[in-house]
Amino acid sequence: MTTRSQTQKSQRSSMTAAWRPVVAAVLLAAAGAAGAAKVVSGPTPYRVSDNCAICHGMHGASTDYNVIPRLAGQHKAYLVMQLKQFRDGHRADQNGNIYMAPVAQGLTNGEIDQVASYFAKQRPRFQASGVHHAGAKAGKAIFMNGVTSEQIPACMECHGANAQGASTFPDIAGQRYRYIVQQLKYFHNGARKNVLMNQIAKSITVPQMKEVAAYLSSL
């Protein structure tokens, strides 16, 4: 006789197997693009001091706005991809349209590469937000195991066991609580376009979003 736990384990394994080829293909493609990029060293790019620092701070770790993401130590390939999406109108969530699109539209590919390289090299990497939100324990369970009943795969399948991400999958450990909730809502309702995340987030409830955000912001 098959037990309920055995059935759930089998379902979770099936979900993981279904998503793994998609994740692997994206990672391989992104790794090739990242490998070809030129890493820029030297002084702070003027675009950072003139534009980015206003909201993100000079080192990408400003604490002034709780819905603005930390950028320090983020993967360069992810930053390049997002800046190009803002610039080209492919990331059209509300805050992206209002704040990021006008800035990114003035960036050349070379400037995007410089800005992304600069923030990717900043240290320390993301640290815990310092604010403890209710639901972190439940959020960890979702992150590590997914929600079998809703066909939601484990977040760690793409972002890694420590939420460190890789290439175009962002490092989200210690990211801001309100920013994570906001972005999950955008993915859920389709305001932010990403085939993989739109599919995953469509079944996530707002309480579950807050639980996942509570866990990630605590790392």
Domains of the chain in sequence order: 46-120 (1.10.760.10), 136-217 (1.10.760.10)
pLDDT at 123: 79
The predicted model scores a pTM of 0.79
Task: Give the rounded percent of residues in the chain with a pLDDT score beyond 90.
Answer: 65
Distance CA 46, CA 209 (A): 36
> Per mean pLDDT, which of 27-36, 115-124, 156-165 is the most reliable?
156-165
pLDDT per residue over 79-106, tens digit each? 999 999 999 999 988 888 899 999 999 9
